[in-house]
Structure 1
């Protein structure tokens, strides 16, 4: 029997690869090597090899058995790179591990595979990924929007995308069946849109929290009181405590980005004390009177 290659190596994935990574690698390789597309010598055998590798790694029980066998094999000092049929690997397992590689791998990498001798069978299309950029207000409200992206054949395609309220930077939106087409009757893959939030002149997003500056006049900071503030969700009123200094963060619970599955983010208003760039004569007299009457020294506070 020919050498059985490691299915992880066949698909080019790490041993701790997630199921979606294994599926993505399989779809890409199987489409590339499918006999209906690839007419190079050996493409059909490579396709069978890819198919059988996925047959092992896509099934949690088969994958666990293979991993267990590989660990014991490594501990026994056998060279890496493949499983040889024969010797200590024949029959009912080896080294006390109830794993029969012939049963586990079947006629992998040499036999007819799951589709029978010479049978290629349908292959799902590969998933694709693209990036969309939206504003902070759009992320807060959500809603439907039209997106134009290059399609699988390179021509522009228009997609009607439902952006969920509270989407965060890096989140993926799945468009089922909008990826690359399948081969030999296989279903199309999916299109994943990775959301990026565009920089905003006033809002800074930290996870689901939103941070923005709250400009206040010197007397508003000293005396305190309600101050209007424009947020991604609309205008709100912020109560500034008396004696507030620049840099103080005022927290508004639940006023950040919504969360469909849990607690929404918070909004943080950072106080920024502003003074008139040019004083009128009455303002100048009042500030001079305040300077003479006050004993406050900010450098000794």
Structure 2
């Protein structure tokens, strides 16, 4: 490495780190910076790979700790630490590190060895996320909503081709119709050839003879789209709805996804508890003692609730099948918590009656 960065610093470990600590740090960073990842960084990947190859080897680590470098193997194509460009490099340690996570070394290092790397993944547009607020009732029964969203979408005029409809598409002269180009660079591994999508034809191998005026030949452009969102019954606040392919479009690839984070407006009368809906009602002391029926409000209108004789404060009564619908067609229950209210003041008559009740042992 040209900047001679400290290997321990590169892996984010201390000089007293164990081999297991070093292996875990490399495992995490290698996957983060792997060039095949969307946010990958080939240079950083090479740096952490070199650091791991030294610090995971007891002899090389001892040399590095003593002299700040590793000796041996300093022939043509060797890197700053004296590594041959693939000839004298021991990759078994990398395989061992990744085996713990169930990863195939062919996936990780195929981009660097064997001469060339093939860009196997199709280009993908950016994922986007939005917030959507729904009422408590809509969170219970579900609702269909539409939102107007400004995002990069496929051009309506050319249907994504980038060409005026009906005009000819020409073979890209930059990649000779292959849709990809070879980029060669030197690294401590040796000469590395990366295969990248051609930026001129967006990996398609063809370019428009006459560019679409709406998108200027890009095939995509920023526009407003109306997106239909089906909010499922029983959704909770904070849950996400994923709409595949409704994210940002990209020329010559597939669109990303749209993630909708749902926020549920609170309702002063009701709460959800799994498949059930909870509410509370106040019941007079006399009604609790003698029993009666109350008209109560639910999310579907009024219901008559029978208050049994001798109901207690805090007791929960159930109306079956009036809760949250499930995907299997079943519904939870509507639960009513009883709050017995006591009068703050008593009339002389009421006090006399209660005194008689006390005499009766009630």
- Please give the range of the TM-score, normalised by the shorter of the 2 chains: 0.5 to 0.7
Give the structure with the higher percent strand: 2
Residue by residue over 1:74-128, the C-alpha shift from the partner in whole angstroms, topping out at 9 and shown as x without a partner, is 899998xxxx9545536xx88xx9x997755453246542238xxxx74111222
Deviation of 1:160 (Å): 1.9
Residue by residue over 1:235-284, the C-alpha shift from the partner in whole angstroms, topping out at 9 and shown as x without a partner, is 222222211233222233442211114753332211123467898xxxx4
Equivalent residues of 2:111, 2:118 under 8 A apart: no
Q: State the alpha-carbon separation in 2 of the partners of residues 26 and 211 from structure 1.
A: 46
Alpha carbons of 1:100 and 1:133: their partners in 2 closer, same or farther (altered >3 Å)? Answer: closer
Query: What is the correspondence of 1:12-31 to structure 2 with a 5 Å cutoff?
Result: 12=32, 26-27=37-38, 29=39
Q: State the alpha-carbon separation in 2 of the partners of residues 264 and 88 from structure 1.
A: 61
Query: What is the correspondence of 1:246-285 to structure 2 with a 5 Å cutoff?
Result: 246-261=313-328, 264-274=331-341, 284=347
Name which of structure 1's ranges 258-267 and 195-204 shifts more when overlaid on structure 2: 258-267
Unaligned runs of at least 5 residues, structure 2: 1-10, 12-25, 47-51, 62-82, 153-220
Matched with 1:140 is 140
Give the match's secondary structure for 2:137.
helix
Instruction: Tell me how many residue pairs correspond in the alignment.
Output: 234
Matched with 1:207 is 274
Equivalent residues of 1:141, 1:233 under 8 A apart: no
Which residue of 161, 165, 170 corresponds with 2:233? 165
Q: State the alpha-carbon separation in 2 of the partners of residues 286 and 276 from structure 1.
A: 14
Query: What is the correspondence of 1:110-121 to structure 2 with a 5 Å cutoff?
Result: 112-115=116-119
Matched with 2:356 is 293
Alpha carbons of 1:220 and 1:125: their partners in 2 closer, same or farther (altered >3 Å)? Answer: same
Which residue of 167, 173, 176 corresponds with 2:244? 176
Give the match's secondary structure for 1:170.
coil
Normalised TM-score (structure 1): 0.59
Pick the structure with greater CA Rg. Answer: 2
Alpha carbons of 1:151 and 1:114: their partners in 2 closer, same or farther (altered >3 Å)? Answer: same
1:223 aligns with 2:290: yes
Equivalent residues of 1:247, 1:272 under 8 A apart: yes
